Structure 1
Amino acid sequence: MSAILSADDLNDFISPGVACIKPIETLPVQQPQEDANAYEVTTEDKVAASLPPPPAQISLTDCLACSGCVTSAEAVLVSLQSHTEVLNTLDAHPSIHEPWLSQNGLNGITNGNTRISNGLSNGSNGNHAAPEGMLFVASVSPQTRASLAATFAVSESQAGNMISQLLSGPMGLKAGGAHGSSFTWVIDTNVVRDACLVSAADEVLSTLSPSTTTSPPSSNGGAIDTPPKKPILTSACPGWICYAEKTHPYVLPHLSRLKSPQALTGTLLKSVLSLRYNIPPSRIWHLAIMPCFDKKLEASRSELTSTAWLPSQPLSSPIRDVDCVITARELLHLASTRGIPFASLPLTPLPLSTRIPFPDPKLDAFLFPRARRGAQAPVAGSSGGYLHHILRTYQTQHPGSVLRAERGRNADVVEYTLTAAGGSGDVVVRMARYYGFRNIQNLVRRLKPPKASRLPGSRGAVRRPAGGQEAKEYAYVEVMACPGGCTNGGGQVRAGEVEEVRAEAGMVEEGGGIGGKGPVEQKEWLGRVDEAYFSASSSDGEEEDGDSDTAMGGADDGLDVVDGVSRGYVHGILQHWAELTGVSVRDLVHTSYREVESDVGKKKKSDVERVATLASSLGGGW
């Protein structure tokens, strides 16, 4: 999705295009006649024709249901998730405060319905209804922290502390607003990503295992209850998913069924908090701070709502697992709108004495480890390291195997081959990385099913896309829409914006500025963001209690550990979560995909044409 989808840029309005999924009836504006009688009785039609048409309100949910592109600021006014929505929500609802923690949702009192003064009141206060209280939680991606770290010349860890100070600290949002509302927890999605990495490796190993029986094809190629086909394609990038669902539905059977770290964090937070505190999901408001605008589309998906984990409690309307998504640039707008100098926020973490424990001890230790796990190696890439973790898992199961990487047609295409030990050259597995839509188009073209030849005398011969067999030899492909990976997301601070952001913050150019806005300067700037991303570690002044095993939950007893991630520990956390909520691990961790069909932009048949088609199909004449 283009960066023009920042809410700040959508300030113009031109009539919707003919392919808009929500067109408005455009009536000609009539000029008033000079001799018109002011006391003449008129009709509603005449009044409507004399008024300018209202803007077409199109939400991101509508964009997901439309096969044509309606996400253009030049055509429609799109209703977006933005920093303005964050501030409006904080001002409309007081934070739910600590007294309800002692109840723990286990004393028979349903929080959200009691008349108490902690933001949960639904009753009246004098002659005015008390505002509904909300439990505010946030999650932050490592790519966002890296972008802000490069911008303000601090470490990735310090940038994360600044974000926490803004969202939860005394100098941040808590110091202003109608109610002084702030976020109770700020989650690092790196932690939940470990669960995604382990689950991704499990999915690939299980799907490609010789003992796995191939299930018959489903009418819905991306159904949650069907395993993906080889090659398995990453599903963590919503821009890529949207593209596949709308333009190439034949790749849906290949998509991984796993939720992204953003989606999985939302499911974890809302399912556990609503259960343990007896708070309706609608009273838990989850903000995600992500590197690209496409994450707003992901949050709007109907599959990522409370219906996935509350099947026995149907709601009048499903509650989204992620209520709002903003990017690094929008986070800075949020701070400046409240008059908070982001660059002046403390670089240190919030005091441990102010931290409120998560309502489950095991999940608290998982979400808030005492020590951060070391940074990923640059070879893992800037998009979470799915491919790298799966390859390392295969290497763990094949001791002595050798991994060879070969660059493709450009730096965003890399092929990996894992060969068995002993110099036999036997291939254990082949995988690849495809970043950027130009490369993605080549990939999906190779996966396109062969078509029967229409040439006379072909006798059933088929035409295969060039390179199709080569693409199908891959076991797994890490697919990301942005060239260079997620650190280059559309919502990140760009090279041409750095000087302006630093000037607004009153900073002196300490780390050296970027002199221009061209592709060369942007590439140099992306290198700095990547450096901040890969240099993330636990040695940036944060307090550490215990050894590195504590970062994995204190479990290293012979468990299968891959790149510092304990697979056994993660499996135990997921199983504990499933038992806590009464929902299977599959339903909590997986999701589904579907082909998006629409008549938008297509010529519609007239009634005469439809009747003629029906008559001919029934054998009748016309």
Structure 2
Amino acid sequence: MSAILSADDLNDFISPGVACIKPIETLPIKSEDNSNPYEVTTEEKAAAAQPPPPASISLTDCLACSGCVTSAEAVLVSLQSHTEVLSTLDTYKSLRAPWTHNGVNGVVNGYTSNGGTNGVNGNHAEGKLFVASVSPQARASLAAVFNVSEAEAGNMITQLLSGPSGLRAGSQQGSDFTWVIDTNVVREACLVAAADEVANALTPESSNAPSKPGSEGAIDTTPKQPILTSACPGWICYAEKTHPYVLPHLSRLKSPQALTGTLVKSVLSQRYNVSPSQIWHLAIMPCFDKKLEASRGELTSSAWLPNHDSSQDPVRDVDCVITARELLHLASARGIHFSSLPRTPLSSADRTPFPDPKLDAFLFPPSRRKNQDVAAGPSGGYLYHILQTYQARNPGSEISVSRGRNADVVEYSLIRGRETIFKAARFYGFRNIQNLVRRLKPARASRLPGGKTGVSRRPGANGAAVGEGVKEYAYVEVMACPGGCTNGGGQIKVSEVDDVRIAEGLQVPNEDGAVISKPGPKEQKEWLAKVDEAYFSGSDSEYEKELDGDGDQTMQDADTNCHVNGHVEDDVVDGISRSSIKRVLTHWSDITGVDMQKLIYTSYIKVESDVGKKKQSDMERVAGLAVSVGGGW
């Protein structure tokens, strides 16, 4: 499913024979003369008529389809790719924003923040404000390729996107990215919100609350136990299209990618009067399915923009997603060797502070957060942070870990003595996900008198039904890729490493120009271990070396993390201050005037499609109706 979203991998052999649900609209051809509309068309006139244009299919259309499309000439697929990044940079000038804010309704360097000039420093639609966000998994993939640390790989990405020797040098407009945000900082907000969501869902009031029909995936509903992670778009698409009965279990929380886009666009548009369409957000992610997430209609300005004009198209919170592999194509297209980029952070002189001081301190802390410990896994650490939060609330408790049927199924228990306080599990890879959703499928009672109830599940080791064992979990971290997000489809594979290093001039090819080695599954497993090592190797001291004075001191003065009135807070879980995160979220909601629920949560829908399904005959349809009303032949 992920591979079709790469422009390099797209070909005509992807699920051939599966129809696309988006129709090719054939409009009547306008005639220039006043001929009789009922006149029979001759072959000569038909040949002279203009054929209808090819159908244009976007990733948004793919979300509404349970099949796939091909790259046949009759169909044009609109993809998010590195070429779109370059084209946008060459088309629009960067809006420069050296803001100093003088209050909510003050003047901000040439434009009024309470309405008036629709732009930055008097600029209008001629430019865009470019913002990028980078995931730690993508940084780890590049770090493994170029034998640098994960922090250095992040600096090289920032230098490419914002540095003087990066994309700016080759752009027709001299455009570059004003801010490059580490999604680790936004992930901390997601972790705190996830722990609160689970705690709220497990209260007796929420657990026993009846659900309204048709509201299974609504934003204002509380997920049911077991709560399933929503940060993996491949898994979400799979659930919406094939197993809609799991929608009540999905976490309503946005992913770090989506939350970053909402934060940047809502704050700049609502408080600083920059049109959402003038803010262009690029996300660098480990998998192609993140492109699908960015194309979701629920993750647009229509969800948070007050008084949204329904006649205007909503603006996506994330405009474009590229992967680590595509980032190298981006640099190569500009004639830049990624390996030659500086490994040091941008100087304070090249850094533009975010206009809101509190959000600037949050998005760009003085010392960047390291990635999680190995126990937290390579996919954001949602499950482990929730476990640690419950452990902090239950002194004397311990976390017990047991492996399932394979390395991608792990069960966690928070125990104190003989009491089990909290049970959770990790399911990675579609093979394991299929087992999970099968066990969550509700029992269907037989319509025959005296028939079985439908709970014909294979008994587990303790005599209980297998499905019941899954339902005992309070939380399940679900990721589509085996091994987690560091093994995403957009990461650089071991078979590509030699080609990348040769292209960068770091390695000499064979005499025939072929790849030096042909790695197999064993080598790919070893390569993934190297990427994981880069992901987990970052340390706080390593990040602290990046501080370079003036600008960082300003951030330190504005930073409120972990401190209240000079006292260290006592609600810190794995180095994350819950109170500090909640203050940031509250501040975000206050300055934009948008309810927090609309900012950090989203919704899901059941995707119904007949694509690839065998149509029922009239006889089968009548038979089905007869059975449904209890009749027969």
Alpha-carbon distance in 2 for matches of 1:256, 1:587: 14
Shift of 1:375: 3.2
Shift of 1:514: 9.0
Within-5 A mapping of 1:386-405: 386-405=382-401
Q: 1:527 aligns with which of 515, 523, 529?
A: 529
Q: 2:116 aligns with which of 85, 110, 130?
A: 110
Corresponding letter in the other structure for 1:197: L
Shift of 1:599: 2.5
Shift of 1:121: 3.8
For residues 11-41 of structure 1, what are the alpha-carbon distances to aligned partners after superposition, in whole Å with 9 as ceiling and x for unaligned?
A: 6599974521135499xxxxxxxxxxxxx98
For residues 135-177 of structure 1, what are the alpha-carbon distances to aligned partners after superposition, in whole Å with 9 as ceiling and x for unaligned?
A: 0000000000000001111000000000000000000111122
Identify the range of structure 1 (186-195 vs 169-178) with the bigger mean alpha-carbon deviation.
169-178
For residues 88-129 of structure 1, what are the alpha-carbon distances to aligned partners after superposition, in whole Å with 9 as ceiling and x for unaligned?
A: 111111111246767425355634369x7x7x245xxxxxxx
Match of 2:225, SS state, is coil
Aligned to 1:571: 582
Aligned to 1:3: 3
For residues 201-240 of structure 1, what are the alpha-carbon distances to aligned partners after superposition, in whole Å with 9 as ceiling and x for unaligned?
A: 0001111123546332131211111100000000000000
Identity of aligned residues (%): 67
Q: Within the alignment, does 1:255 sit opposite 2:259 as a pair? A: no
Aligned to 2:343: 347
Alpha-carbon distance in 1 for matches of 2:289, 2:54: 23
Alpha-carbon distance in 2 for matches of 1:611, 1:3: 41
Match of 2:492, SS state, is coil
Match of 1:236, SS state, is coil
Aligned to 1:276: 271
Shift of 1:75: 9.9
Alpha-carbon distance in 2 for matches of 1:371, 1:177: 31
Alpha-carbon distance in 2 for matches of 1:440, 1:479: 7
Match of 1:365, SS state, is helix
Identify the range of structure 1 (375-384 vs 551-560) with the bigger mean alpha-carbon deviation.
551-560
Match of 1:595, SS state, is coil
Q: Within the alignment, does 1:20 sit opposite 2:20 as a pair? A: yes
Q: 2:198 aligns with which of 181, 198, 204?
A: 204
Corresponding letter in the other structure for 2:10: L
Q: Is the 8 A contact 2:207 2:224 kept in 1?
A: no
Q: What TM-score does the superposition give when structure 2 sets the normalisation length?
A: 0.85
Identify the range of structure 1 (453-462 vs 576-585) with the bigger mean alpha-carbon deviation.
453-462
Residues 1:493 and 1:75: Cα distance change in structure 2 (over 3 Å): farther
Corresponding letter in the other structure for 2:601: H
Alpha-carbon distance in 1 for matches of 2:620, 2:139: 57
Shift of 1:598: 1.4
Shift of 1:67: 2.1
Q: 2:437 aligns with which of 440, 444, 455?
A: 444
Alpha-carbon distance in 1 for matches of 2:445, 2:72: 42
Aligned to 1:543: 547
Alpha-carbon distance in 2 for matches of 1:73, 1:520: 36
For residues 292-320 of structure 1, what are the alpha-carbon distances to aligned partners after superposition, in whole Å with 9 as ceiling and x for unaligned?
A: 00000000000000011113232511100
Aligned to 1:239: 234
Q: Is the 8 A contact 1:495 1:514 kept in 2?
A: no
Q: Within the alignment, does 1:308 sit opposite 2:303 as a pair? A: yes
- RMSD of aligned C-alpha atoms? 3.2
Alpha-carbon distance in 1 for matches of 2:70, 2:198: 34
| Runs of 5+ consecutive residues of structure 1 not aligned to the other structure | 27-39, 123-131
For residues 494-526 of structure 1, what are the alpha-carbon distances to aligned partners after superposition, in whole Å with 9 as ceiling and x for unaligned?
A: 0010011011111148xxx99433111111000
Aligned to 2:377: 381
Alpha-carbon distance in 2 for matches of 1:274, 1:484: 38
For residues 39-70 of structure 1, what are the alpha-carbon distances to aligned partners after superposition, in whole Å with 9 as ceiling and x for unaligned?
A: x9854533469x7x865432110111112233
Within-5 A mapping of 1:147-162: 147-162=141-156
Alpha-carbon distance in 1 for matches of 2:67, 2:118: 41
Aligned to 2:593: 582
Aligned to 2:32: none
Alpha-carbon distance in 1 for matches of 2:313, 2:17: 30
Alpha-carbon distance in 2 for matches of 1:443, 1:217: 22
Q: Is the 8 A contact 2:385 2:573 kept in 1?
A: yes
Q: Is the 8 A contact 2:486 2:531 kept in 1?
A: yes
Residues 1:113 and 1:561: Cα distance change in structure 2 (over 3 Å): closer
Residues 1:535 and 1:610: Cα distance change in structure 2 (over 3 Å): closer
Match of 2:500, SS state, is helix
Shift of 1:536: 1.7
Match of 2:414, SS state, is strand
Alpha-carbon distance in 1 for matches of 2:78, 2:24: 16
Residues 1:221 and 1:549: Cα distance change in structure 2 (over 3 Å): farther
Q: 2:456 aligns with which of 448, 455, 463?
A: 463
Identify the range of structure 1 (3-12 vs 157-166) with the bigger mean alpha-carbon deviation.
3-12
Residues 1:351 and 1:249: Cα distance change in structure 2 (over 3 Å): same
Q: 1:553 aligns with which of 561, 564, 568?
A: 561
Residues 1:520 and 1:95: Cα distance change in structure 2 (over 3 Å): same
| Runs of 5+ consecutive residues of structure 2 not aligned to the other structure | 27-40, 102-106, 459-464, 509-514
Match of 1:414, SS state, is strand
Alpha-carbon distance in 1 for matches of 2:496, 2:61: 31
Alpha-carbon distance in 2 for matches of 1:348, 1:212: 49
Aligned to 1:46: 47
Aligned to 2:135: 141
Residues 1:406 and 1:14: Cα distance change in structure 2 (over 3 Å): closer
Corresponding letter in the other structure for 1:570: I
Q: 2:179 aligns with which of 180, 185, 189?
A: 185
Alpha-carbon distance in 1 for matches of 2:136, 2:88: 25
Corresponding letter in the other structure for 2:204: P
Q: Is the 8 A contact 1:453 1:462 kept in 2?
A: no
Q: Is the 8 A contact 1:416 1:432 kept in 2?
A: yes
Match of 1:134, SS state, is strand
Alpha-carbon distance in 2 for matches of 1:409, 1:514: 36
Aligned to 1:97: 96
Alpha-carbon distance in 1 for matches of 2:16, 2:314: 29
Residues 1:430 and 1:613: Cα distance change in structure 2 (over 3 Å): closer
Q: Is the 8 A contact 1:16 1:75 kept in 2?
A: no
Match of 1:457, SS state, is coil
For residues 550-573 of structure 1, what are the alpha-carbon distances to aligned partners after superposition, in whole Å with 9 as ceiling and x for unaligned?
A: 987252633310000000000110
For residues 455-511 of structure 1, what are the alpha-carbon distances to aligned partners after superposition, in whole Å with 9 as ceiling and x for unaligned?
A: 6533756434751000000000000000000000000000010011011111148xx
Alpha-carbon distance in 2 for matches of 1:346, 1:608: 70
Aligned to 1:593: 604
Residues 1:523 and 1:77: Cα distance change in structure 2 (over 3 Å): farther
Corresponding letter in the other structure for 1:3: A
Q: What TM-score does the superposition give when structure 1 sets the normalisation length?
A: 0.87
Q: Is the 8 A contact 1:195 1:570 kept in 2?
A: yes
Q: Is the 8 A contact 1:145 1:156 kept in 2?
A: yes
Q: Is the 8 A contact 1:369 1:550 kept in 2?
A: no
Q: Is the 8 A contact 2:562 2:577 kept in 1?
A: no
Alpha-carbon distance in 2 for matches of 1:252, 1:386: 19
Match of 1:405, SS state, is strand
Residues 1:326 and 1:617: Cα distance change in structure 2 (over 3 Å): closer
Shift of 1:331: 0.5
Q: Within the alignment, does 1:84 sit opposite 2:83 as a pair? A: yes
Alpha-carbon distance in 2 for matches of 1:443, 1:61: 27
Residues 1:401 and 1:18: Cα distance change in structure 2 (over 3 Å): closer
Residues 1:284 and 1:54: Cα distance change in structure 2 (over 3 Å): same
Q: Is the 8 A contact 2:183 2:257 kept in 1?
A: yes
